[in-house]
Amino acid sequence: GAHLRLVVRKARYRLDLFEGEALLKVYPIALGPRPWGAKQRQGDARTPEGEYRLIPHHESPNFGTCFYVCYPGPRDAQRGYFAGWIDRRSWREILLAGSRRELPPWNTRLGGLILVHGTRERDLRGLTAKNWTNGCIAMENADLLELLGAFSTRDRPILRIQP
């Protein structure tokens, strides 16, 4: 997993898996009801844009094993602080989580709990037929399991999310 990188292209509803510059696989995705524009605040149902570290094999009570997207990141925290949405303490906590490669706080006004997930019922299909998440990135269950298999629990790959 060390040489693998992931790119979400929101406008094309796809997640691309690269090894170096070589495109290995293209996966279809679904997003939230307001996919255009970057996530700004809690509850806006948007998917963040930018570069984020992923934590593979995260256990979600709602979606089972998935990838945790480390949003908000340092740039989001800086923007949020200067916009008056978060305080200095929250800004520092987000920066510290980023430097430690850990989960950032998700309970600030910037929002959080962004996942790359399928469903707990792994035999369900058609998950990318329409937008249905609250800002997360949904994949078909078989695709998600295949992608998770490329990473260990210690890997922290980068996901670039593009408009």
Rg (the chain; Cα; Å): 15
Identify which of 49, 52, 51, 53 has the alpha carbon closest to the alpha carbon of residue 11: 49
Which residues 6+ apart lie within 8 Å of 36 measured at CB? Answer: 10, 163
Letter for the amino acid at 101? R
Residues of the chain below pLDDT 50? none
What is the per-residue pLDDT across 18-63, written as a single tens digit (0 to 9) for each?
999 999 999 999 999 988 899 988 999 999 999 999 999 999 999 9
pLDDT of the residue at 55 = 96
Say if CB 17 and CB 6 are below 8 A apart: yes
Identify which of 49, 30, 140, 163 has the alpha carbon closest to the alpha carbon of residue 148: 140
Which residues 6+ apart lie within 8 Å of 123 measured at CB? Answer: 141
Is this structure's pTM higher than 0.85?
Answer: yes
Domains and CATH numbers, the chain: 4-71+111-162 (2.40.440.10)
pLDDT of the residue at 134 = 94
Q: Give the mean pLDDT of the chain.
A: 95
pLDDT of the residue at 2 = 65
Per DSSP, what are the bridge partners of residue 160?
Answer: 7, 51
